[in-house]
Amino acid sequence: MRELGIIEDGAVLVAEGKIVAVGTTDEVAKHQSLTSKPAHVKEIDCRGKAVLPGFVDSHTHPVFTAPRLIDFEKRITGASYEEIAEAGGGIHSSLRGVRDATCSKLAEHVRKALDEMALQGTTTVEAKSGYGLSFAAEMKSLEAIREASHQWAGTVIPTLLGAHVVAPEYRDDPEQYLGIICEDMIPAAAKLRLAAFVDVFCERGAFTMEQSVRILHRASDNNLGVRAHVCQLTPAKLAPLVEFHPASLDHLDFVSDEDISVLAKLDTVATLLPAANYFLGLETFPPARRLIDSGVPVALATDYNPGTAPTPSMTLVMSVACTHMKMSPAEAIVAATYNGACALHLRDRKGSLEPGKDADIAIFEALDYRELAYWFGTNRCRETLLKGVHQTGAQISR
């Protein structure tokens, strides 16, 4: 996780959305396609800049319509979850917004979030549904993700999170809601190819381990990938989830040493989401050091969502990971790029600058890679290439 493969005075040659060559400027200048037809080449001068693979934000919840300002203000005064809900905040306010919105309105919100992410160096985004919590509203959310992804030059990986919490109508009969997830949502998402993954919030107050296992079973039966939110607020044994070979297990604030040893033997990525800890004002952060030192691959993601992590910034997450989780700046970069790609089963296409991979490139105002996690509260990303398509500053060209 510490090897960045830095090339001083480097260059990247891109054609038709793919990386063709990577090396020193001298090496790349000798590439056959440059010597034979140089007139077609557009050059981006990156002198004095750090050029990285675009960030892979492997955990976001972008389908919502409004910020949760009641939660924000109430939480500062020490209000409880129940008091926030009574004041009209909480997940149910997002739920109303999503259920009432049209698909194109939701897509517009998602698209704005994707654009904002790209301006900060992110080129691949995993996007979850999960604020609809009915068959119709979850399908609409996934369709909005699809619509937004068609309007964006980057790559979006859609995930069904119908199992975010039990829908309020079924609070007294969670079994019935579980039936809707397993018998309606998952088969439909698979059939319509609206999701690549199924996610579940396995936590006190959301879904039990036994319920989570049933949901992931159904996902596997429908040939969808699986991932889970787990150990965010309370400890849980990971063994039942690990059976499904999840691409990623996310949060893991309360993961046990025993389970860390198990994860170290697997391909499953531990995706850590410290922006949520920061925003909730928690004193503890996910145990990155214990995981990395035990050999578990760690990814970092924003957890972009209206309740607990309203940030599109991967560099902010990297900064928090360095200052509060003691990850090194190099580990933070690997976690935000290559390991994020692994967490989405995209390591062949994303996460590093190598010939044959997608031309997803972020150009930062920095003389040293350590500056990425060092500056915070600012955006030093100057240009982003999404599969070769250029995005700069305030203007978006495609």
State the nearest-atom distance from the C-beta of 185 to Zn ion, in Å. 18
Nearer to Zn ion, 61 or 214 (CB): 61
Beta bridge partners of 229: 201, 250
Nearer to Zn ion, 199 or 383 (CB): 199
Closest alpha carbon to 27 in 41, 46, 13 = 13
State the nearest-atom distance from the C-beta of 138 to Zn ion, in Å. 15
Nearer to Zn ion, 203 or 303 (CB): 303
Beta strands in the chain (DSSP E): 10-15, 18-24, 50-53, 55-60, 122-128, 155-163, 197-202, 225-230, 248-251, 269-272, 298-300, 361-364, 381-386, 389-392
Read off the tokens for 284.
Answer: 């503890």
State the nearest-atom distance from the C-beta of 59 to Zn ion, in Å. 6
Residues 272-311 that bind Zn ion (CB under 5 A): 303
Nearer to Zn ion, 59 or 109 (CB): 59
Beta bridge partners of 22: 12
State the nearest-atom distance from the C-beta of 248 to Zn ion, in Å. 11
Q: Cβ-closest residue to Zn ion? A: 303
Spell out a b/e string for 22-46, using b for 16 or more CB atoms within 10 Å of the CB, else e: bbeeeebeeeeebeeeeeeeeebeb
The β-bridge relationship of strands 389-392 and 248-251 is: unpaired
State the nearest-atom distance from the C-beta of 136 to Zn ion, in Å. 22
Which amino acid, residue 319? S
Residues 361, 386 contacting (CB under 8 angstroms): no
* Residues in contact with Zn ion, shown as a per-residue x/- string from 220 to 259 under the rule CB under 5 A: ----------------------------------------
Nearer to Zn ion, 71 or 303 (CB): 303
State the nearest-atom distance from the C-beta of 32 to Zn ion, in Å. 46
State the nearest-atom distance from the C-beta of 61 to Zn ion, in Å. 6
> What is residue 236's three-state secondary structure?
coil
State the nearest-atom distance from the C-beta of 229 to Zn ion, in Å. 5
Q: How many residues bind Zn ion (CB under 5 A)?
A: 1
Nearer to Zn ion, 303 or 358 (CB): 303
Nearer to Zn ion, 101 or 161 (CB): 161
Q: How many CA atoms lie within 13 A of 111 on its CB side?
A: 17
Contacts of 279 (CB under 8 A, 6+ apart): 308, 309, 310, 311
Nearer to Zn ion, 199 or 331 (CB): 199
- Complete DSSP assignment for 261-283: HHHTTSS-EEEE-HHHHHHTT-S
Residues 285, 273 contacting (CB under 8 angstroms): no
Could you list the residues that contact Zn ion (CB under 5 A)? 303
